[in-house]
């Protein structure tokens, strides 16, 4: 997502628009990857047979990690990118030079 946003910025797209377009464009691939990985662990998380005492907690942790990393990627990453790459505005320090 960051490289996609960076490519949009190099093409001259304003920062907020590049972040929005980058996040929306990468939404489907990120969600599909997380969904496939999470659904793959559901049978393991619901297992009640032999060895399920070890499998269930592992599957739960993996599913939770995938969900939390997806949320971080889709919501927090664009916000952090905006925070660190905003345009620098001139700052009025509030005092004048005396001669």
pLDDT exceeds 60 at position 27 = yes
pLDDT at position 89 is 46
Q: What is the DSSP letter of 86?
A: P
Tell me the percentage of the chain whose pLDDT exceeds 70.
87
Determine the average pLDDT of the residues in 30-42. Answer: 90
Determine the average pLDDT of the residues in 42-71. Answer: 87
Domain-by-domain residue ranges, the chain? 2-84
Q: What is the DSSP letter of 75?
A: I
Determine the average pLDDT of the residues in 64-79. Answer: 92
Q: What's the fold here for domain 2-84?
A: Multidrug efflux transporter AcrB transmembrane fold (1.20.1640)
Q: What is the number of helices (H) and of strands (E) in the chain?
A: 4, 0
CA distance 58 to 21: 36
Q: Average the pLDDT over each of 10-24, 31-45, 56-70, 80-94 and give the range with the smallest value.
A: 80-94
pLDDT exceeds 90 at position 92 = no
Q: For tokens 């925070």, what's the residue?
A: 83
pLDDT exceeds 70 at position 70 = yes
CA distance 86 to 89: 9
Determine the average pLDDT of the residues in 33-39. Answer: 90
């Amino acid at each position: 997502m960051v490289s996609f946003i960076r490519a949009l910025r190099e093409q001259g797209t304003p920062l907020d628009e590049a972040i929005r377009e980058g996040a929306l464009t990468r939404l489907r691939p990120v969600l599909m990857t997380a969904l496939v990985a999470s659904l793959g662990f559901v049978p393991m998380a619901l297992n009640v047979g032999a060895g399920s005492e070890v499998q269930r907690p592992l599957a739960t942790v993996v599913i939770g990690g995938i969900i939390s990393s997806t949320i971080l990627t889709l919501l927090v990453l664009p916000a952090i990118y905006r925070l660190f790459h905003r345009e620098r505005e001139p700052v009025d320090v509030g005092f004048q030079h005396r001669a």
